[in-house]
Structures are given as C-alpha cells and as structure tokens.
Structure 1
Amino acid sequence: MDSSLRPLLILSFLATQANPVSAARIAEAVDAPRSTTFRLLRGMQTLGYVTHLPEEQAYALGIAAREIGQAFGLQAPLARYGRPVLERLVAKVGETAHLAVLHGHETLYIHEQTAPLRAPLVTAKDVRLPAHLTASGRVILAGIGNDQLRALFPPNFAFIRRTGRGPATYGELQEQLSAVRRAGFAREFGEVTEGLTSIAKPVHDRTGRVVASIAVTHAYSLAEPSAADADLQRILVGALENATRDLSRRLGWVPPGNG
C-alpha cells in the first residue's frame, strides 16, 4: 500500500471508533508497523488531526479533523445561500460561475450556474479537481495556515498538470499563493481546460475563516489584447467582490470596519 495513504486510513479508522484507541490497535487496523504508526501519529498530533490521551494511552480524532467534518456540514447551507448569489452574478457578467470548497488537496464544486449560450464546464456539481490548478482552490489555500498547507501537500506530493501548466513544486505553489494574497483574488489560464480562464475570490464564515470561493470562467485567446483583458478582469473582480461579500454576510461574516 502507498505509505502516503496511511494518515488518511488512520483518520478513517478513528472516525469509526466510539472511544479512543491505542496506537497498537491503530497499527493493526491500518496494517502498518508500530514504529511507523507512532511516527505518523506524532506528526498528525502536531497538526491537530489526532489527540493523545496519556491517561488512557490512546488516540482520538483531533480538532483539525473535526473541523473538516464541520466543513462538510457547511456545504448544504452554502449551496442553498449561494444559488441566488450566483444567479445574480451570472446575470451581471454573462459568464458561468461556480461555488467551491476545499476537500483535502482538491477543489470540490458544490454549485455551478451556467450562463446562457455557454457550454457546461468540467466544474459541475460534485466534481473534484486538483486545488493547486484551480483559481477556486488557490484562493482558499491562500487563506489557510502554513502547517495545514504543508499537511495537504507533503514533500512527496505529486503535483498533477492537466495541460502542462501550473505549479510543479511546493515552492512554486507558495509563490502563487503569495501572489493571490497580494492581489486578493486568484486566476488561472488554461491550467484546467485549454482556452478557458477562471478568476476566484474567497467566501468567509462568521469567524472570518475562508471556507469557500466563487469563481467566474470565460474563454480567452493568447492573441487577446492585454488592455482588453485587464478591463475584463477589473469588471469580473468587482462583480466577484460583491458576490462573495453577499454570500459571506449570509454566513454571518461582518466585514472589517462594519462591526
């Protein structure tokens, strides 16, 4: 078995247990040597995915793992609140928009609003794509901490490239995320589908955490004048700003200075 899957197997096993479990029992359940299991558990404990109960000499799911479960619980209200927001956004810009969340190191699309006369995209509901390639994923990744980012993209992570574009290393991903933080939005050009580009901005929950993103996708040409592209980008970013603020407020977020 691929050793990179063992942390996920540990989380899956602990999620099925009603009570804390010993490291020896975990090692048996995931079919791993005890020394390997202890090393994985220590790393997962550092990141908050498991917690150690010394009195019982046992392990249980940690806060970080429970936050992931809570994020899944957020998807239903996100889709419900986001649908009218995306409808207004598409009516304004005339391009297809989608609402997405982070699922591990993938972008999970939970709603797509297709613009009239536009073909459906690969970003339909319930589709997953590599987060490092999508504007939707990058803008969410830019809002999480370095420890969580490294947990999602460990040293042996294989950075997939669908069209020959996109970050190929963790360092390149970090550079792109730094650019996203400076700009306040993420953009990809043909990294998911040739000839299509997407722009995304983040959605916040009531605590200010980035929990989702809204993106707009449109066709582009390498021969497209840069001035025209800059004007279109400005229009789309402005429309996305209004849409993400609207959805964030529906989730209880109060913009800085409005409290």
Structure 2
Amino acid sequence: MSAEVPALRRGIAILRQLSASNRAVSAGTLVRLLGLPRSTVYDLLGVLEELGMVQRVEAGYVLGPGVHELGASYLRTNPLQNLAAPLVRQLAEDTGGTAQLAVLRGWETVYLLKESSPRSLALITAAGVRLPGYLTATGRAIMAHLPKPELLAALQGETEFVNRTGRGPRMLSQLSAELSLTRRRGYAQEDGEVTPGVRTIAAAVFDVLERPIAAIGVSVADPADEASAAGAPTTVEPVHRTAAALTARLR
C-alpha cells in the first residue's frame, strides 16, 4: 500500500498542474514542471486518462470529465456552500441585486452559489460557471490577499489576459495595480468587464488561518450618472457584512 502513495501524490500533482492552466499541457512540460521521470509521467497520464480524469488533445492534456463529476459532487456537499446559502440569499434581498459565492481554482473564478432578487439583472454567473478570475470582482477579492508566489503560480503562462468587453487588465502589471487598490479600499470592484452595464462589488472570506478561501459578491446595474458612479457604491457595506458573517461561521 505504501508504494501507491507516491504515485497518488504524483497523479494529483499532474491534475493540479492541468487545473492551473487554461490550455493543454504537454507531457514534456509536465516532466519539466514536476521534475519526474518521463516514463513515470506517461504511465500516470495513461492511468488518469483511463479513469477519465484527463483527456488527450492535439496539444497535450487537459482535465477530463471525471474531474467535473468529482467537482459537482463536492459542490453539492461543500460545507462552505451550505453555510453561505442563507447569507447569499439575504444579500440579494437586501441589495436588489444578484449575489454570488465564488472560489478561485487556478486562474479561474468558480461560482458556487447564485441568488437573484426579483429586480436583479440576468447574468451568466450561474453555479458551476467558470470565468477568468482577474476579470471578476470575486476573483480579484481573493487574489488581492494571496501570497505573491501563490498568485504568480495561479497565473503562470498567462502573458496576455482574456478580454470580454474591452475593459479590464491586459497583463500582470495592470492586475497587480488593481489588486493593490483592492487591498487599500477593502473591496474589489468590477465595472462592465464581464457583462456590459453591470457593476459587481466583492469582499474576501477567510478561514481560521486567515487564508482567503472564497469571496462574496453582488452585481447591480452600473450607475448611469457620473455623480453616482463616483460615489461609494451602496452595496459595499452589505457585501462587507455578509463576507464577515461567513468568515465568522467558518471559525
């Protein structure tokens, strides 16, 4: 049994490398990144492919449908999601917007919960949806509190960021400036970078070790007049309150 443990660790290391990339990763790249023998990497990839955990494509390997099945099961039983559900629902009611709970997986924001008020806008942030973390307020709220090496590891290989609406950071230096602003003001803000005409405010949720493990956000129509847009968003206080309440429940 003990002989299987290193293989398990190495297999999980391969899955984590694939999850941190937004493109296929070649076996040769995995050999270099993990410092493993080429034969070992190919053997592990063969087993993972047989189990549906990875899928071979022309440019290398990507995560397979088996990972999605495990992720879906995790979301159904995730205690973070269960603790957050009533808080997210209340936030939507209090703000009249669409409230979300999200986590960061590699460079992507993954939405665990979405609650909408009757007055809220139609958005694409359904549970299970993934978006570039550097474009979303929830993703930035988490990234702003990550140790720099961890942030760089999550963004490895991202020399040019994805852009949806012509707004948002295009490179690491621009993202770093946005994350510094997020830390100073205590919340992340995204204006039309995912959906035109929509503003999202988000704050990080911390575990008992003060690690940013999730974020609470709320999306509303972006104020049309400059005076309103320049003022402090009215959703900041309820978002802060909700994130703090969830942090307290996790301790």
Q: Same fold (TM over 0.5)?
A: yes
Q: How far off its partner does 1:248 sit?
A: 0.6
Deviation at 1:73, TM superposition (A): 5.9
Q: What SS does structure 1 have at the residue aligned with 2:215?
A: strand
Q: Following superposition of structure 1 onto structure 2, how do residues 207-226 of structure 1 map, counting pairs within 5 Å? A: 207-221=209-223, 223-226=224-227
Q: For residue 204 of structure 1, what is the aligned residue in structure 2?
A: 206
The aligned residue for residue 24 of structure 1 is none
Letter in 2 for 1:214: I
Amino acid at match of 1:225: E
The answer to whether the 8 Å contact 2:120/2:220 transfers is no
Inter-partner Cα distance in structure 1 for 2:226 and 2:111: 31
Identify the residue that residue 98 of structure 2 maps to in structure 1: 96
What TM-score do you get using the length of structure 1 for normalisation? 0.69
Counterpart contact for 2:97–2:121, Cα < 8 Å: no
- CA RMSD across the alignment: 3.0
**More deviation in 148-157 or 138-147?**
148-157
Moved more, 75-84 or 193-202: 75-84
Aligned to 2:165: 163
- SS of aligned partner of 1:81: helix
Deviations 1:13-69 (A, max 9, x none): 62299xxxxxxxxxxxx8645xx6554225xxxxxxxxxxxxxxxxxxxxxxxxxx9
Cα distance change of structure 1 residues 249 and 197 upon mapping to structure 2, 3 Å threshold: same
- Alpha-carbon distance, 1:152 to partner: 1.4
Kept in 1, the 8 Å contact 2:106–2:155? The answer is no
**Are residue 152 (structure 1) and residue 158 (structure 2) matched?**
no
Residues 99-131 of structure 1: CA deviation (Å, up to 9, x unaligned): 000011000000001011324311111000000
CA deviation map 1:60-111 (0-9, x unaligned): xxxxxxxxx9xx9687111111111012212222111100000110000000
Q: Quick one: which of 15, 34, 37 aligns to 2:12?
A: 15
For 1:15 and 1:192, the matched residues in 2 are separated by: 31
Query: Match of 1:57?
Result: none
Q: Quick one: structure 1 residues 160 and 249, their matched pair in 2 at CA, closer, same or farther if it must change by over 3 Å? A: same
**Unaligned residue ranges in structure 1 (runs of 5+):** 1-9, 18-29, 43-68, 253-259
SS at match of 1:215: strand
Specify the alignment match of 1:27 in structure 2: none
User: Quick one: structure 1 residues 230 and 90, their matched pair in 2 at CA, closer, same or farther if it must change by over 3 Å?
Assistant: farther
Contact 2:96 2:119 in 1 (8 A): no
Q: Does the C-alpha gap of structure 1 residues 76 and 39 become closer, same or farther in structure 2, counting only changes over 3 Å?
A: same
Q: When the two structures are aligned, how many residues end up with a matched partner?
A: 200
Alpha-carbon distance, 1:154 to partner: 2.2
Distance 2:134 2:13 in 1: 30
* Structure-2 separation of matches of 1:250 and 1:76: 14
Matches within 5 A, 1:90-129: 90-129=92-131
Q: Answer yes or no: is 1:244 the counterpart of 2:218.
A: no
Aligned residue type for 2:229: D
Match of 2:190 in 1: 188
1:41 aligns with 2:40: no
Alpha-carbon distance, 1:189 to partner: 0.6
Give the Cα separation in 2 of the matches to 1:136 and 1:144: 13
- Name 2:57's counterpart in structure 1: none
**2:180 corresponds to 1:178:** yes
Q: 1:37 to 1:112 in 2, by over 3 A?
A: closer
Structure 2 Cα separation of the partners of residues 210 and 144 of structure 1: 7
1:156–1:244 distance in 2 versus 1, CA, 3 Å: closer
| % identity of equivalent residues | 38
Contact kept in structure 1, 2:205 and 2:247, CA below 8 Å: yes
Q: Which residue of 1 aligns with 2:82?
A: 80
Structure 2 Cα separation of the partners of residues 232 and 37 of structure 1:
46
